[in-house]
């Protein structure tokens, strides 16, 4: 059964929290105050100080009668120790793992649940790109978390849609088929809302029937009049997204990309993505590489439209993963997101076309090598752009 296309909901409130020193304590507080239910769907979960804090609160919640359900991706949670898994199970947490790895599973192992949701009492949801790891949640010696990330706290009618999404995913079988459908269908998107505050809708890729999340991105870039600012840690976009960005820049829209610099967990992905810089820069796209830390943000700002959540907007994410973003039209949040981008641009290196042309041959060889490997992987895995 196809995943539904969710409509715009009015009357929602939002709070954007940058970095784990802000969002992690708030999430812990919300879970500690739960009276009915805590539902968690995450990709990255590792044993450590942050996960121990979460586990303590979850077990305390179960002890006072709260229903606690956790669904972790089996690959992303491979560093969650068996002792921690058993502690959760023995404490009464309903724990499930998405698509357990199988040596004979072939391409079915590539299907991953990349969504990040924490829902408390069916009334508040936290959405973003973080997991339960110390790199996200625990500040280091300099007082900043190693990974630059954000979570959005949402309250209002749209939370019911997030509850429905979690319930739907909770009930599906644990293993997925290894072959994608021959053709994913295009869907009819809800029209852009006329209001300016409190509007939100859930945007998804379900991996089998549609990638509505991508359609929404392309539709909004096409209607952009002032700005298109996009932050992503892994810049390996489809050709449709690259074309949309270039076209927007050519018609005078302020198009900026906020990407990882040398501090990254996957250097080959950075080199592979840099092969796109020359044409984008020539089209007028401005490219910024964040310098201080590993940038893990997944945010898009297009005029009055904001989308943030789990999606990296790359080939791999959009083909294999379950993803979920919150799309928003809200004047206050738009301003907060714009200020966040501006602060990050100030800590970034901006590339120019001359910078790209002046790259040393060693750097060019890395771009060529990893770009070639990326293209081969796309062809071999039959990832349609």
Q: Which residues are catalytic?
A: 114, 116, 121, 296, 298, 303
Strand partners, 45: 132
Task: For CA atoms 351, 150, 152, 2, give the dihedral sign.
Answer: positive
Q: Judging by beta carbons within 10 Å of its beta carbon (0-12, 13-18, 19+), is residue 379 exposed, middle or buried?
A: exposed
Whether the Cβ atoms of residue 298 and residue 310 lie closer than 8 Å to each other: yes
Distance CA 16, CA 165 (A): 22
SS3 67: strand
Tokens (6 digits) for 379:
């062809």
Which string of b and e fits 40-76 if b means at least 16 CB within 10 Å?
Answer: bbbbbbbbbebbebbbebbbebbeeebebbbbbbbbb
SS3 309: strand
* Cα 253 off chain centre by: 24
11: number of Cβ within 10 Å = 12
Q: Helix %, strand %, coil % for the chain, to 5? A: 40, 25, 40
Whether the Cβ atoms of residue 263 and residue 296 lie closer than 8 Å to each other: no
Q: Within a 13 Å sphere around the CA of 272, how many CA atoms are in the beta-carbon half?
A: 21
Distance CA 139, CA 294 (A): 13
DSSP 90-154: HTT-EEEEES---TT-GGGGG-EE---EEEETTTEEEEES--BSHHHHS--TTSS-SEE-EEEEE
Distance CA 206, CA 219 (A): 19
């Amino acid at each position: 059964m196809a995943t539904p296309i969710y409509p715009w909901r009015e009357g929602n409130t939002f709070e954007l929290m940058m970095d784990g020193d802000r969002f992690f304590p708030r999430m812990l507080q919300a879970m500690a105050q739960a009276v009915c239910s805590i539902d968690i769907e995450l990709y990255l979960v590792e044993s450590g100080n942050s996960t121990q804090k979460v586990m303590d609160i979850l077990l305390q919640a179960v002890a006072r009668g709260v229903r606690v359900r956790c669904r972790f991706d089996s690959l992303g949670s491979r560093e969650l120790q068996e002792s921690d898994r058993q502690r959760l199970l023995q404490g009464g947490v309903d724990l499930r793992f998405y698509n357990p790895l199988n040596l004979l599973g072939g391409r079915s192992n590539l299907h991953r649940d990349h969504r990040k949701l924490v829902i408390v009492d069916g009334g508040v949801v936290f959405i973003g790109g973080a997991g339960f790891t110390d790199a996200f949640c625990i500040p280091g010696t300099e007082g900043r978390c190693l990974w630059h990330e954000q979570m959005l706290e949402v309250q209002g009618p749209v939370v019911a849609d997030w509850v429905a999404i979690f319930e739907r995913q909770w009930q599906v079988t644990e293993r997925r088929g290894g072959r994608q459908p021959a053709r994913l269908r295009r869907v009819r998107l809800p029209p852009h809302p006329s209001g300016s505050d409190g509007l939100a809708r859930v945007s998804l890729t379900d991996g089998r029937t549609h990638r509505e999340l991508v359609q929404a991105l392309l539709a909004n870039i096409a209607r952009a009049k002032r700005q298109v600012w996009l932050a992503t840690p892994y810049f390996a976009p489809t050709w449709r997204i690259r074309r949309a960005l270039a076209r927007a820049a050519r018609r005078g829209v302020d198009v900026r990309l906020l990407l990882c610099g040398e501090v990254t967990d996957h250097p080959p992905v950075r080199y592979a993505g840099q092969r796109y810089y020359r044409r984008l820069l020539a089209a007028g796209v401005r490219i910024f590489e964040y310098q201080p830390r590993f940038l893990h943000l997944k945010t898009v700002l297009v005029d009055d439209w904001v989308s943030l959540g789990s999606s990296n907007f790359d080939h791999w994410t959009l083909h294999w993963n379950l993803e979920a973003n919150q799309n928003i039209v809200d004047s206050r949040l738009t301003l907060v997101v714009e200020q966040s981008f501006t602060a990050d641009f100030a800590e970034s290196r901006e590339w120019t076309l001359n910078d790209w042309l002046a790259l040393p041959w060693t750097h060019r060889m890395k771009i060529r090598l990893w770009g070639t490997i990326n293209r081969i992987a796309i062809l071999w895995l039959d990832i349609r752009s």
